[in-house]
Chains A and B, each alone.
Chain A
């Protein structure tokens, strides 16, 4: 009889206790555009269109959404200072535009103002809400994510608006699920940044060898001869 009750208990536990669904977080990061003030006279100007990194992120969010569990959350982190300054330059409220697009995409919008704010967000206490994906859209070179490029400074970036690979060890490995998908859509990340990401955070990050081109809208494509994605 005791055995029967024990078996019943185990059966009930297995079949009637609702499974706790882990709600993971998928993070999409958008860096900011350059100012026309700095770029307009250059032979190869950057960011004639303000929304390259917004359009691409929006496209990607639309692709990722159906692949996630219903309880998963997509967080769209956008570097705000560059959009404020670019908005002022072209006399448009880009902040409201981005907020509207985020709302329509179903992603939760989180503005960040500097590297420390971004890392603080990633490193918040996480139990069941670990990061199952992280993708970056923005300016970069082989060693740095440049959230702020040619926006405060001509052809350069203020240090708080960068995430240099030397700082990656400040991101906790435990923030991520063991099989998290990470990718940088910026230029050259596959040449050094991906390797340092693996060393510092313990997981692969896909990145480009060569340049990526956002100029045709949507997701960027590899634009250098011999360019490829690597991790």
Chain B
């Protein structure tokens, strides 16, 4: 009896751990102050020439992707989960103007730039995704969450949490 109870508890714990990871991958991190903070984001920034892309900032727990990006005129279901390549000193991600790089949850932008010819690796999810190299942006305004899940694993095999590297803090 004791053993079966123990197994039941164990199964419940394992189940909640896995569902927790799965949920984290889907649910945007709530950011109630986003609208207030987003006022600090300049309406326009950087080089705004060339093709226009539409992006929605989507902060997901443990994800290093920036959000969903699509071509102007496309549906959001055609959007791609992407990283944003900034150039410190030249152009930074819009959210950084809020004082917190994640402070612009669900803001939408017109993005200017291009996709890199190589992908980026999300260490916590073992997945390679496109990189958008940012040149400039314009704020559109708050948007709705995209009903879509980012890619999960690039490798074969069962899902495994791939924890990132050491906390290296030597001064």
Point out residues on A near B: beta carbons under 8 Å. Answer: 33, 35, 37, 41, 44-49, 52, 55, 89, 138-144, 146, 149, 152-160, 162, 164-166, 186-188, 192, 211-217, 220, 223
Stretch with Cβ within 8 A of A (4 or more), from B38-46, B116-124, B144-152: B116-124
Is A41 within 8 A of B100, CB to CB? Answer: yes
A217 to B84 alpha-carbon distance, docked (Å)? 33
**Please, which residues of chain A bring their CB within 8 A of the CB of B165?**
46, 138-141, 146, 149, 186-187, 211
**CB-defined contacts of A46 to chain B, threshold 8 Å:** 165-169
Min distance, Cβ B142 to any Cβ of chain A, angstroms: 22
The 6 closest A-B pairs by CB, nearest first: A139-B165, A155-B64, A156-B64, A49-B170, A141-B162, A157-B121
Q: Is B163 an interface residue (CB 8 A)?
A: yes
B residues near A164, Cβ cutoff 8 Å: 121, 154-155
Interface size of B in residues (CB-CB distance below 8 Å) = 34
Q: Interface on B for A, CB 8 Å cutoff? A: 64-65, 83-86, 88, 93, 100-101, 116, 118-124, 126, 128, 131, 154-155, 160, 162-171
Contact B88 A153 (CB under 8 A): no
Q: Which listed residue, A89, A159, A216, A223, touches B121 by the CB 8 Å rule?
A: A159
Q: Of A139, A149, A214, which one neighbours B170 at CB under 8 angstroms?
A: A214
* Contact between chains at B123 and A149 (CB < 8 Å): yes
Of the A-B pairs whose beta carbons lie under 8 Å apart in the complex, a sample of 22, sorted by A's number, is A33-B168, A44-B167, A48-B171, A49-B171, A52-B170, A139-B164, A142-B163, A143-B126, A146-B121, A153-B83, A153-B131, A154-B64, A154-B84, A155-B164, A158-B119, A159-B128, A162-B121, A164-B121, A166-B155, A187-B164, A213-B167, A215-B170
- Given A49-B171, A139-B165, 16 other A-B contacts at CB below 8 A? A44-B167, A47-B169, A140-B165, A141-B126, A141-B163, A142-B162, A146-B123, A153-B64, A155-B164, A156-B83, A158-B118, A158-B120, A160-B118, A214-B166, A215-B169, A223-B166
Task: Please indicate the chain A residues that have their CB under 8 angstroms from the CB of B64 in the complex.
Answer: 153-156
